[in-house]
Structure 1
């Protein structure tokens, strides 16, 4: 067999083997490598490269070596799940570097982390002053996790006792000009509804690059032609306007009627609707 033909065959063989072995190792191998996984990945890749170009070496020897190097971290991972000491040794432990706004220099030196690197990590998380930090740790993967002091944390709806509805994940119902039935069904809708919404926007499904349905059941689209302006969803503004009109009509009826009983009824319901509007305005007003 010609050398270049054998190299092509070996390359494809080890490419498939590397893909399968990496999938076997799991997503963590790609997301955040520990030191042990980093060494394993380099070694497996080196074995594949060496056997691919080393035509005098038997291809099975390389596959066996790669399999062993793949099995070892998997076995160590299973052991680590049941033994914290081994897990801490293999994957490492988080190290506290800031406490109560003060840098712990000894811990920083132990991790061989310079103050410049720490400040860079803080800036990447929009923190520019160490004294604003309540607690910060260097994670085993080298990243820095921080907890701001209470007075420096962003204001949340819970802090001002504002009840917010739960938000559902958006459903992608159109992709590359094709309707996706499964997410459409997950949203509790059908093609008939989708076609009606597209007609309101005066566009066809063929022109839609991406279409999504949000938590409120509104359709937003991104077209192939970015020069075409698509109006924003109007369901929430229209509902808000309708509620305001109802509340204004009730007030008007209470003024116009001569019946004292009807006047009290209109006023009572007008006040109820006004209280409802004050709660719904943050949700229905996009401005």
Structure 2
């Protein structure tokens, strides 16, 4: 087989099995990567890279190795669901680094976590004064979660005894790039005639709509191609 054709076939197969593996493993590996997920992702990437470029190993051997490793990852995930000890073994435990405004230096040293990095992550959460922090915890995926002291937390409507309109559903996309989202209309017992009447109320034709969404409060938000902004803030 021509080496270029072989490379193309291997690349397509590598992409296909990587996509299939990602679907099997779900979103957690991408969005909430802990130590075990990190190792798993690197290994799967290495296998697919070898499948693409290492022609000395047969394609089906790579595919078998890939899905065997996916199977191991799924097995450990299911074991972790039922066993606290397994979760701790594979993912570790969260670590408290600030308690009642005081930095826990021993916990930070055990993680090789520096004060500079701690300050950076606090600033990313709009915290510039450590005394505002009741607890700060390093989660198993490396993210810092912070609980402020009560006097520094944002005031809510509940705190002020103000009534709030109930919301029981997510925004519903109606139009995207001039095209009606018919499935969304059907799932929410809405009709195209209702949509057209809503567009008409705002003196807008379907051809002018870039994006339209039904908000939880019952209002329809419409964005048109013509924004009528004379001086855009950021123009490429």
TM-score with structure 2 setting the length: 0.91
The yes-or-no answer on 1:195 pairing with 2:209 is no
Measure, in 2, the Cα distance between the counterparts of 1:57 and 1:125: 48
The yes-or-no answer on 1:5 pairing with 2:13 is no
What residue number does 2:173 align with? Answer: 172
Structure 2: where are the runs of 5+ without partners? 231-236
Measure, in 2, the Cα distance between the counterparts of 1:64 and 1:180: 40
CA contact (8 A) 2:34 2:142 kept: no
The yes-or-no answer on 1:225 pairing with 2:226 is yes
- Of Structure 1 and Structure 2, the greater helix share is in 1
What residue number does 2:233 align with? Answer: none
CA contact (8 A) 2:11 2:51 kept: no
How far is 1:17 from its partner?
0.9
Tell me which structure has the larger Cα radius of gyration.
Answer: 1
The yes-or-no answer on 1:133 pairing with 2:133 is yes
Aligned residues: 229
1:139-195 CA-partner distances (Å, limit 9, x unpaired):
011111110000110001111111212224221111111222343355554322322
Measure, in 2, the Cα distance between the counterparts of 1:142 and 1:228: 42
SS of the equivalent of 1:56 reads coil
What residue number does 2:142 align with? Answer: 142
> Highest relative contact order (Cα 8 Å, sep 6+), 1 or 2?
2
Pairing 1:97-116 to 2, within 5 Å after superposition? 97-116=97-116
What residue number does 1:216 align with? Answer: 217
Q: CA RMSD in A?
A: 1.7
Measure, in 1, the Cα distance between the counterparts of 2:77 and 2:194: 49
Measure, in 2, the Cα distance between the counterparts of 1:28 and 1:95: 20
Measure, in 1, the Cα distance between the counterparts of 2:200 and 2:67: 56
CA contact (8 A) 2:96 2:138 kept: yes
CA contact (8 A) 2:178 2:209 kept: yes
Question: Measured at CA, do residues 138 and 66 of structure 1 come closer, stay the same or move farther in structure 2, by a change above 3 Å?
Answer: same
Measure, in 2, the Cα distance between the counterparts of 1:67 and 1:40: 12
How far is 1:56 from its partner?
2.3
Measure, in 1, the Cα distance between the counterparts of 2:187 and 2:164: 22
Measure, in 2, the Cα distance between the counterparts of 1:158 and 1:127: 23
Pairing 1:1-287 to 2, within 5 Å after superposition? 1-167=1-167, 168-185=169-186, 189-227=190-228
How far is 1:51 from its partner?
2.8
How far is 1:216 from its partner?
2.9
